[in-house]
Amino acid sequence: MASSTKNRIDSIIINQEWCKRCGICVSFCPKKVFEEDDEGTVSIPRPEDCIYCELCERLCPDLAITLVPKPQDSGDPS
Ligand code: SF4
Ligand code: SF4
């Protein structure tokens, strides 16, 4: 599952085959980006709220979460 965001990350991906539905990401995300249903399946209803703190990616025991950052703004290098 992948969801687009409007901020620093391009998308959040959950590998549902690796996810063991422990709920850690749902509990620890400070922005409540994730939700789980009655069976523990995690969805990403609020990807636009993600602040790219990387907690979910670091805490997921099954490495099921991948945060895909946006390419750096080219900005003004000078
Ligand atoms: S990076 Fe932080 S804010 Fe974004 S989904 Fe993961 S825990 Fe939530
Ligand atoms: S922390 Fe990882 S294994 Fe646990 S529910 Fe979230 S995605 Fe699934």
Which phi and psi angles does 8 have, rounded to 5°? -75, -20
DSSP 8-state symbol, 71: P
Question: Which atom from ligand 2 is nearest to the alpha carbon of 34?
Answer: 6
- pLDDT over 70 percentage in the chain: 85
Question: Which atom from ligand 2 is nearest to the alpha carbon of 14?
Answer: 7
The answer to the question of residue 74 being in a domain is no
pLDDT average, residue stretch 2-7: 61
The answer to the question of residue 47 being in a domain is yes
Bigger pLDDT: 77 or 33?
Answer: 33
Centroid of ligand 1 to alpha carbon of 55 (angstroms) = 6
Centroid of ligand 1 to alpha carbon of 65 (angstroms) = 10
Task: Determine the structural domain holding residue 10 and report its residue range.
Answer: 2-69
- Ligand 1 pocket check for 42: Cβ under 6 Å: no
Q: What is the CATH number of the domain that holds 35?
A: 3.30.70.20
Dist. CA 19–CA 13, nearest whole Å: 11
The answer to the question of residue 25 being in a domain is yes
| Segment 26-54, tens digit of pLDDT | 999 999 999 999 999 999 999 999 999 99
The answer to the question of residue 53 being in a domain is yes
- Res 73: pLDDT: 61
Give the count of domains, the chain: 1
The answer to the question of residue 23 being in a domain is yes
pLDDT at 55 over 70: yes
